[in-house]
Structure 1
Amino acid sequence: MSESPVKTRREGAILEVTLDRPKANAIDLQTSRVMGETFAAFRDDPDLRVAILTGGGDKFFCPGWDLKAAADGDAVDGDYGVGGFGGLQEMRDMNKPVIAAVNGICCGGGLELALSADMILAADHASFALPEIRSGTVADAASVKMPKRIPYHIAMELLLTGRWFDADEAHRWGIVNEILPSDQLMARAWELAKLLASGPPLVYAAIKEIVRDAEDSKFQDAMNRITKRQLRSVDVLYASEDQLEGARAFAEKRDPVWKGK
Structure 2
Amino acid sequence: NSPLMDLKEAAERGRQTGSVRSRGAAVRTVIEHWKPTIAAINGIAYGGGLERALSCDIRICSEDATFALAEIKRGLTPVTGLFDLPRLVGLGNAMWLLMSGEPIAAEEALRIGLVSRVVPPEELIPTATRMAEIISENSPLGVRTVKQVARLGVELPRDYAQRLGQSMIDRVWSSEDAREGAAAFAEKRKPVFKGR
TM-score band by shorter chain is 0.7 to 0.9
Aligned to 1:252: 187
Q: What do the CA deviations read for 1:185-224 (whole angstroms, capped 9, x no partner)?
A: 1111111111111111111111111112222433333333
Take 2:109 and 2:86, find their aligned partners in 1: how far apart are those partners? 14
Contact kept in structure 1, 2:87 and 2:154, CA below 8 Å: no
Take 1:122 and 1:105, find their aligned partners in 2: how far apart are those partners? 10
Q: When you count helix as a share of all residues, which structure comes out higher?
A: 2
Contact kept in structure 2, 1:129 and 1:165, CA below 8 Å: yes
Shift of 1:259: 1.3
Shift of 1:255: 2.0
Residue 190 of structure 2 aligns with an amino acid whose one-letter code is D
Secondary structure (helix, strand or coil) at the match of 1:121 reads strand
Aligned to 1:169: 108
Select the residue among 132, 137, 141 that pairs with 1:193: 132
Take 2:50 and 2:191, find their aligned partners in 1: how far apart are those partners? 37
* Alignment RMSD (CA, Å): 2.6
Aligned to 2:86: 147
Secondary structure (helix, strand or coil) at the match of 1:259 reads coil
Contact kept in structure 1, 2:70 and 2:101, CA below 8 Å: yes
**2:19 matches 1:76:** yes
Contact kept in structure 2, 1:98 and 1:119, CA below 8 Å: yes
Number of aligned residue pairs = 196
TM-score computed with the length of structure 2 as normaliser: 0.86
Q: When you count strand as a share of all residues, which structure comes out higher?
A: 1
Contact kept in structure 1, 2:30 and 2:56, CA below 8 Å: no
- After TM superposition, the runs of 4+ consecutive aligned structure 1 residues lying more than 3 A away are 12-19, 77-80, 88-93
**2:178 matches 1:243:** yes
Take 1:148 and 1:212, find their aligned partners in 2: how far apart are those partners? 11
Shift of 1:181: 1.1
Take 1:215 and 1:192, find their aligned partners in 2: how far apart are those partners? 23
Identity score, percent: 33
**2:57 matches 1:118:** yes
Q: What do the CA deviations read for 1:148-201 (whole angstroms, capped 9, x no partner)?
A: 221322210110010011111111111111111111111111111111111111
Max Rg structure: 1
Take 2:5 and 2:147, find their aligned partners in 1: how far apart are those partners? 18
Take 1:111 and 1:123, find their aligned partners in 2: how far apart are those partners? 14
Take 2:53 and 2:34, find their aligned partners in 1: how far apart are those partners? 16
Take 2:18 and 2:157, find their aligned partners in 1: how far apart are those partners? 38
Cα 1:78/1:192, change in 2 over 3 Å: closer
Q: What are the within-5 Å matches in structure 2 for residues 61-100 of structure 1? A: 74-77=17-20, 79=22, 84-85=25-26, 88-91=27-30, 93-100=32-39
Contact kept in structure 1, 2:7 and 2:39, CA below 8 Å: no
Take 1:79 and 1:112, find their aligned partners in 2: how far apart are those partners? 13
Aligned to 1:3: none
Highest RCO, 1 vs 2 (Cα 8 Å, sep ≥ 6):
2
Contact kept in structure 2, 1:99 and 1:193, CA below 8 Å: yes
